[in-house]
Structure 1
Amino acid sequence: MGDVPVPNLLPLPVLLPLLGAALALAFRRSDRLQRIVSIAALAGVVVVAAVLVWQTDVSGPQVLWLGAWQEPLGISLVADRLSALMLLVSSVVTLLVLLFAIGQGHADSDDEVARETPLSIFHPTYLVLTAGVANAFLAGDLFNLFVGFEILLFSSYVLITLGGSASRIHAGTTYVVVSLLSSALFLIGIAATYAATGTVNLAQLAIRIGGLDPGVALVLQLCLLTAFAIKAAVFPMSAWLPDSYPTAPAPVTAVFAGLLTKVGVYAIIRTQTLLFPASPLTDLLLWAALLTMVIGILGAVSQSGLKRILSFTLVSHIGYMIFGIALSTQAGTAGAIFYVVHHIIIQTSLFLITGLVERIGGSTSLHRLGGLALASPLLATLFFVSAMNLSGVPPLSGFLAKIGLVDAGIAVGTPLAWVVVAGGIVTSLLTLYALSKVWSQAFWRPLSEAREVAELAAEEAADEAEQFEQAELDAGRRPGGAATITAAPTGVALAVDTSPRALPRMMLGATAAMTAVGLLITLVAGPLQAFTERAAADLRQRDPYITSVLPEEVRR
């Protein structure tokens, strides 16, 4: 008997969420059926992604050409070690965040505001977002990558404004404008690339770009890199993120923080290694990495709200990934991949924990929070583990990821590489400082002391509002709404919630599971590091990807 052919699984990570979205929309009048469909679809993607990780590691890149077009004119889906690993991590994250969101929906079912929110569209939109992320990871050509970005961005527009509050609409507007700008640049880059090479297939571009005039290739690289850097929130194109993410619902913020910027980082890794392996922009990327790390973490240190602190640390730690990419070595690329995996899990965990902090404490402002360690020792433990992991405290995965990048930077040995290594160490220490401030004030400060701080901050804010109103009147202008100011412009509330709500088990369980996945990365760091090194070797060699995608007659 011959070998039984293994079915090609590549369409399933995209098709399962899209089918689930259609069914969830059809079952919009039944919350229970929507939940069942969504969980089943995302659980199926996790299984498929795990199989793809095994297949790509054992058998090399998996390729599927769609449509009846002659290769390489058709649409190709490609899974190599990098894309399969990213797909597995993202599918685990989206499943656990979905469970958190379902738990939140149960807990808020009696809340009047929650009843008025159109939650029937959450499940189909969330599944479409998942399909867009999967399509971006599996795209074998630039235009399909663009389609993946647009799918996830379209659904993210809906999710970030869910509920229709003024703050969410304002944040969504900023997010939409920035996303449209990056998409326009990406589309221009695709058009210019096709005009210069006659193709948008990544494998074919890897062959043809080498024959272009160096100046033309540099323009194409800059255009694509700028578009992806905006999506990844790389400095100086990162100012939009801290103003956009914190206003969204807790599960939406968590999945955005964990995944959306990493899709941009993935695109940078893919194009820099496959299309521009001998990049003349190494020093530019190293400077971008350094500034992203340092300026981002300085922003985090200066904040007094937990969501904004985490948003700035998210920006800052993107710099570590860009550092690994900029080194243009196998060790640097492997370190960047390992850091992406670590950061997706840990950053999502911290934003889920923040959602629970807001629920139990009534706020995320450090001026108002206190005594959380006594109110919920388990929540305190989850925050401490994830905060130490993000800060890079040994022996957790954050420490291992940073050590890998530091070793890669030292091996390169250029003065600029040493400067970025030093910047990375300083950033890690400042991350520890920023999160330790949260730990001491929100979890261990007595609530009575927090109440005094909040009242003092509110008085100062009221004085500022009065001075602002008087200045407007003195200038002969009528202040819009100044007479109705009841809270600090800085977002400090006037009252302290002295009766925190209990934490729903499903929300707490999903958060604990996400934190456990972060610890699991530490336990399997050896095999994971070996896998990322094999993935980096394939990326640097390029031949495994090119020969798997293109027939021999096309490669000649």
Structure 2
Amino acid sequence: MNTVALAPLSIVVLFFAAAVTFVLSRREKAQRLIAFVAIVAVLAVEVTLLISSWNSGPQTVQLGGWQAPFGITMVVDQLSALMLVVSSTISLAVLVYATGQDIADDDHEVPISVFYPTYLLLLAGVSNAFLAGDLFNLYVGFEILLMASYVLITMNANAPRIRAGTTYVVVSVVSSLLFLTAIGFVYASTGTINMADLSMKLQTLPTGTQYQLHLMLLIAFGIKAAVFPLSLWLPDSYPTAPAPVTAVFAGLLTKVGVYAIIRTETLLFPSGGLSTLLSIVAVLTLFVGILGALAQTDIKRMLSFILISHIGYMIWGIALDSELGLTTVVFYLAHHIVIQTGLFLVVGLMERRGGSANTQRLGGLLKITPWLAVLYFIPAINLGGIPPFSGFLGKVGLLQGSVEVGTWQAYLMAGVGVLVSLLTLLALARVWNKAFWRPAKNAEKPTASLLRAEKDIEADGVLDEQDYKRISPTMVIPTVGLVAIGALLTVVAGPLFHFSDRASDNLRNPDLYIQAVFEDPSLTRQGYLDESLAQQNTELESQETKETSE
């Protein structure tokens, strides 16, 4: 059996499971089991696809038997397979965490019966976006995940979440309209929306038209990826959601936008015509994001700004337009999804343990819960780029890529990247110092539970467990798992870089993608361009001959 034929299951299984869990809305345990089994099954399929893609180029599935460019094409290559596996892994951990949070809460703040089907739909949209072989199917994937995210971000329907959800919905609708408009312009210009077909036909358009279409797609994807100045919506939207929702949003949603930018720059417009613009965007995203993070006292808002800043590292690698730059982007994508998601889950535990996510109101957590201090410390220094962790290796790859390219834009990005790495470490270390190292009695506005804890500490040096909101083991286990996976990325950095290098080779050779989609090993972008130019010359000569004879 051809392994790539399993690819549609990554979407179909999740859709089916979402429908079943919706029907079983009054049976929470059944919902939980079905969601868990569905994601595990999808993860098994995606691991199979990842193994299959290790040494292969792009592989395709033509749905319904319609051949490209007329039918719906799903494409599996190293990049999409890696993104599928990483997204399902962190989604499984977040699902377990969310289940544990619901069990630990006596008031059932999150309507968990709605959570399961919506969460599965979100993952189906993400998978569809990673597998899409045409722009409209990519748009459909975005819309599925965005509609599900609207529900998740407004869960419990309190005032802050409604306000944040309103901003998120408005921005998402605007970006979707821009994307849909861009698709209309692309189809009007080329007569196709299949990305392999577009890779050939877009190069025959006038240069001005190419720049216009290129810029429209980048703006639409830039909003979804939260690059500056299109990122102002994110810090106000993500932190208000429940901890597991914030974690999966931070880990996945912006990365789908980055994935779309990679496809745009390597497949649709591989000439690198907007590299200078991307370099400027990368620098501004890096710098403005970290400045916003340093100004925050709320940990979740701080991490949201750091998320924006680190999107700049990925845009940096894309802007280099080099093999090493693209290799590092693929590596950094996998690294950042795991680390950022794990760190948000850790902050969720800190908020439950201390009663707040504001550093002004936290203190003494090191004495109260030393294991939580370790859980925060490991991904924090990883994200800050301390050797030998994967965050350091990714940044070194970008620096080396900048030196190889040697342009002023590359050196500027390298300088700002080093500074931002140091400032990231400063922001994360400041949280550790205030929340864990500082005594609880020194916090400016301690919560009631912390005040009770201080009395207990002064009385007998022992903190009573009941003074703090209970943390379910089901919340701790997936958090520990993601932190461990993040640390393990350092151990497997060599194979992962090797895999990323193969992915980069395929991304930088769009002919492989085109040949896989059309099942024609002789088809190339240059061959299509030569043929198109020859046909135009023939038509021009024929027209001149006709005019002469008349």
Return the letter of the residue paired with 2:500.
Answer: T
Return the letter of the residue paired with 1:550.
Answer: F
Return the letter of the residue paired with 2:493.
Answer: A
Structure 1 residues 103 and 192: alpha-carbon distance in aligned structure 2, compared to 1, 3 A threshold: same
Q: Superposition pairs for residues 142-181 of structure 1, below 5 Å?
A: 142-181=135-174
**Residue range with higher mean Cα deviation, 51-60 or 118-127:** 51-60
In structure 1, how many angstroms separate the alpha carbons of the residues matched to 2:340 and 2:156? 24
Partner of 2:26: 29
Give the CA deviation at 1:280: 1.7
Partner of 2:483: 515
In the alignment, is the contact (CA less than 8 A) between 2:515 and 2:523 conserved in 1?
no
- Which residue of the other structure, out of 29, 36, 39, is the alignment partner of 1:39? 36
Give the CA deviation at 1:497: 5.7
C-alpha deviations, 1:89-116, integer Å up to 9, x for none? 00001000000001111111x22x52xx
Q: Secondary structure at the match of 2:239?
A: coil
In structure 2, how many angstroms separate the alpha carbons of the residues matched to 1:431 and 1:417? 21
Partner of 1:236: 229
In structure 2, how many angstroms separate the alpha carbons of the residues matched to 1:410 and 1:70? 44
Partner of 1:195: 188
Q: Secondary structure at the match of 1:454?
A: coil
Partner of 2:505: 537
Structure 1 residues 68 and 526: alpha-carbon distance in aligned structure 2, compared to 1, 3 A threshold: closer
Partner of 1:185: 178
2:46 is the counterpart of 1:53: no
Partner of 2:496: 528
Return the letter of the residue paired with 2:159.
Answer: A
Q: Superposition pairs for residues 326-341 of structure 1, below 5 Å?
A: 326-341=319-334
- Which residue of the other structure, out of 239, 248, 259, is the alignment partner of 2:241? 248
C-alpha deviations, 1:455-488, integer Å up to 9, x for none? 7xxxxxxxxxxxxxxxxxxxxxxxxxxxxxxxxx
Return the letter of the residue paired with 1:545.
Answer: Y
2:10 is the counterpart of 1:17: no
- Which residue of the other structure, out of 342, 346, 357, is the alignment partner of 1:353? 346
- Which residue of the other structure, out of 68, 71, 75, is the alignment partner of 2:68? 71
In structure 1, how many angstroms separate the alpha carbons of the residues matched to 2:290 and 2:188? 41
TM-score (norm. length: structure 1): 0.90
In structure 2, how many angstroms separate the alpha carbons of the residues matched to 1:416 and 1:405? 13
2:433 is the counterpart of 1:440: yes
In structure 2, how many angstroms separate the alpha carbons of the residues matched to 1:59 and 1:531? 11
Return the letter of the residue paired with 2:17.
Answer: G
2:376 is the counterpart of 1:379: no
Q: Secondary structure at the match of 1:67?
A: helix
In structure 1, how many angstroms separate the alpha carbons of the residues matched to 2:386 and 2:4? 43
In the alignment, is the contact (CA less than 8 A) between 1:362 and 1:497 conserved in 2?
no
- Structure 1 unaligned regions, length at least 5: 456-492
Return the letter of the residue paired with 2:305.
Answer: F
Partner of 2:392: 399
**Residue range with higher mean Cα deviation, 390-399 or 44-53:** 44-53
C-alpha deviations, 1:381-401, integer Å up to 9, x for none? 010000000000000000001
In the alignment, is the contact (CA less than 8 A) between 1:320 and 1:424 conserved in 2?
yes
In structure 1, how many angstroms separate the alpha carbons of the residues matched to 2:267 and 2:2? 30
In structure 2, how many angstroms separate the alpha carbons of the residues matched to 1:188 and 1:322? 24
**Residue range with higher mean Cα deviation, 390-399 or 47-56:** 47-56
Q: Secondary structure at the match of 1:245?
A: helix
Give the CA deviation at 1:131: 0.2
Partner of 2:120: 127
Q: Superposition pairs for residues 78-97 of structure 1, below 5 Å?
A: 78-97=75-94
Partner of 2:111: 118
- Which residue of the other structure, out of 303, 308, 315, is the alignment partner of 2:301? 308
Give the CA deviation at 1:119: 2.0
Return the letter of the residue paired with 1:232.
Answer: A
Partner of 2:261: 268
2:106 is the counterpart of 1:98: no
Return the letter of the residue paired with 1:506.
Answer: T
In structure 1, how many angstroms separate the alpha carbons of the residues matched to 2:209 and 2:68? 26
Return the letter of the residue paired with 1:536.
Answer: S
- Which residue of the other structure, out of 454, 463, 466, is the alignment partner of 2:445? 454
Give the CA deviation at 1:500: 1.9
Give the CA deviation at 1:551: 3.5
Return the letter of the residue paired with 1:15.
Answer: V
- Which residue of the other structure, out of 341, 352, 355, is the alignment partner of 1:362? 355
- Which residue of the other structure, out of 104, 109, 116, is the alignment partner of 1:107? 104
Give the CA deviation at 1:266: 0.2
C-alpha deviations, 1:158-187, integer Å up to 9, x for none? 000010000000000000000001000000
C-alpha deviations, 1:254-273, integer Å up to 9, x for none? 00000000000000001110
In structure 1, how many angstroms separate the alpha carbons of the residues matched to 2:164 and 2:26? 29
In structure 1, how many angstroms separate the alpha carbons of the residues matched to 2:451 and 2:379? 25
Q: Secondary structure at the match of 2:87?
A: helix
Give the CA deviation at 1:542: 1.1
C-alpha deviations, 1:270-311, integer Å up to 9, x for none? 111001111221111001000100110011011111011101
In the alignment, is the contact (CA less than 8 A) between 1:34 and 1:123 conserved in 2?
yes
2:281 is the counterpart of 1:258: no
In structure 2, how many angstroms separate the alpha carbons of the residues matched to 1:318 and 1:38? 30
What is the aligned-residue RMSD (CA, Å)?
Answer: 1.5
C-alpha deviations, 1:219-271, integer Å up to 9, x for none? 00000000000000000011100000000000000000000000000000011
In the alignment, is the contact (CA less than 8 A) between 2:68 and 2:517 conserved in 1?
no
Structure 1 residues 89 and 6: alpha-carbon distance in aligned structure 2, compared to 1, 3 A threshold: closer
Partner of 1:480: none
In structure 1, how many angstroms separate the alpha carbons of the residues matched to 2:175 and 2:2? 42
Return the letter of the residue paired with 2:37.
Answer: A
**Residue range with higher mean Cα deviation, 414-423 or 250-259:** 414-423
In structure 2, how many angstroms separate the alpha carbons of the residues matched to 1:449 and 1:182? 45
In structure 2, how many angstroms separate the alpha carbons of the residues matched to 1:98 and 1:10? 22
In the alignment, is the contact (CA less than 8 A) between 1:409 and 1:417 conserved in 2?
yes
In the alignment, is the contact (CA less than 8 A) between 2:514 and 2:523 conserved in 1?
no
C-alpha deviations, 1:183-207, integer Å up to 9, x for none? 0000011000011111000001111
User: How many positions carry a matched residue from both structures?
Assistant: 510
Return the letter of the residue paired with 2:274.
Answer: L
In structure 1, how many angstroms separate the alpha carbons of the residues matched to 2:489 and 2:156? 35
Partner of 2:457: none
In the alignment, is the contact (CA less than 8 A) between 1:296 and 1:315 conserved in 2?
yes
Q: Secondary structure at the match of 1:394?
A: coil
Partner of 1:505: 473
C-alpha deviations, 1:72-100, integer Å up to 9, x for none? 20001111110000011000010000000
Identity across aligned pairs (percent)? 53
Give the CA deviation at 1:427: 0.2
In structure 2, how many angstroms separate the alpha carbons of the residues matched to 1:494 and 1:303? 23
Return the letter of the residue paired with 1:212.
Answer: L
In the alignment, is the contact (CA less than 8 A) between 2:355 and 2:449 conserved in 1?
no
Q: Superposition pairs for residues 421-500 of structure 1, below 5 Å?
A: 421-450=414-443, 453-454=444-445, 498=452, 499-500=467-468
Structure 1 residues 308 and 59: alpha-carbon distance in aligned structure 2, compared to 1, 3 A threshold: same
Give the CA deviation at 1:59: 3.4
Give the CA deviation at 1:519: 1.0
C-alpha deviations, 1:36-65, integer Å up to 9, x for none? 100000001111111111111233322111
Structure 1 residues 198 and 554: alpha-carbon distance in aligned structure 2, compared to 1, 3 A threshold: farther
Give the CA deviation at 1:494: 9.0
Return the letter of the residue paired with 2:11.
Answer: V
Return the letter of the residue paired with 1:230.
Answer: I
In structure 2, how many angstroms separate the alpha carbons of the residues matched to 1:292 and 1:5? 42
**Residue range with higher mean Cα deviation, 64-73 or 287-296:** 64-73
In structure 1, how many angstroms separate the alpha carbons of the residues matched to 2:2 and 2:314? 38
